[in-house]
Amino acid sequence: MKFGIFYELSVPRPWDQEAERKVYMNALEQVRLADELGFDQVWAVEHHFLEEYSHCSAPELFLTACAMQTKNIHVGHGIVICVPEFNHPIRIAERAAVLDILSGGRLEFGTGRSATWTELGGFRANPDETKKSWDEFVHCIPKMWMQERFSYEGRYFSMPSRAVLPKPYQKPHPPMWVAVTSPGTELDAGDRGIGSLGVTFTSFAEQEAKVKEYRRRIQNCNPVGGFVNNQVNTVNFLYCHEDSETGTKTGMRMIQYFNYLAAQLDMAKEAVPTKSYPSAGLLPSLRRQASSPGEQAKAPEGIAVGNPSHLISELRKWETCGVDRVNFLLNAAEIIPQEQVLNSLRLFAKEVMPAFADSHARAAAGGGR
- What span, in angstroms and rounded, lies between the C-alpha atoms of 266 and 253? 23
**Sorting pLDDT into bands at 50, 70 and 90, what band is 369?**
very low
Nearest in space to 330 (alpha carbons), one of 315, 322, 340: 340
pLDDT per residue over 11-44, tens digit each? 999 999 999 999 999 999 999 999 999 999 999 9
Judged against a pLDDT cut of 70, whether residue 296 lies above it is answered with no
C-alpha distances (whole Å) from 130 to each of 34, 64, 274 are: 34, 27, 11
pLDDT at 367: 45
pTM over 0.95: no
CB atoms within 10 A of CB 330: 23
Length of the chain: 369
- Output the pLDDT for position 295: 52
pLDDT score, position 272? 80
Residue 153, classed as helix, strand or coil, is strand
How far is it, in rounded angstroms, from Cα 291 to Cα 74? 36
Host H or E run for residue 234:
strand 232-240
Q: At what angle do helices 204-218 and 185-192 cross, to 10 degrees?
A: 30
Cβ(112)–Cβ(79) under 8 Å? yes
Question: With bands split at pLDDT 50, 70 and 90, how would you rate the model's confidence at 73?
Answer: very high
Report residue 271's pLDDT band, with 50, 70 and 90 as the boundaries: confident
- Predicted pLDDT of residue 277: 78
| Rounded Cα distance, 320 and 311, in Å | 14
* Cross-strand bridge partners of residue 7: 44
263 pLDDT band (50/70/90 cuts)? confident
Residue 270 pLDDT > 90: no
Peptide bond connecting 142 to the previous residue in cis, omega within 30 degrees of 0: no
> How many domains is the chain partitioned into structurally?
1
Does the pLDDT value for residue 297 go beyond 80? no
pLDDT per residue over 272-291, tens digit each?
877 777 765 544 454 455 45
Q: Is the pLDDT of residue 359 over 80?
A: no
Strand 150-153 versus strand 107-112 pairing type: unpaired
Angle between helical axes of 130-146 and 89-102 (0-180°, round to 10): 50
> Cβ distance 147 to 153 under 8 Å?
no
CATH number at residue 296: 3.20.20.30
Average pLDDT value over all residues in the chain: 92
Per-residue pLDDT, 45: 97
Integer Cα distance of 275 and 132 in angstroms: 13
pLDDT surpasses 60 at 366: no
Contact of 237 with 257, CB cutoff 8 Å: no
pLDDT at residue 334 above 80? Answer: yes
pLDDT of 324: 97
Burial class of residue 301 in the structure, from the number of CB atoms within 10 Å of its CB (0-12 exposed, 13-18 middle, 19+ buried): exposed
The pLDDT score that the predictor gives to residue 289 is 53
**Residue 341 CB neighbours (<10 A):** 22
Whose CA is closest to 236, among 349, 308, 290, 315?
315
Of the given ranges (219-233, 259-273, 352-366), which has the lowest mean pLDDT?
352-366
Domain that holds residue 10: 2-365
Of the listed ranges 72-76, 113-117, 350-354, the one predicted with least confidence: 113-117
pLDDT digit string (tens) for 140-197? 999 999 999 999 999 999 999 999 999 999 999 999 999 998 778 899 999 999 999 9
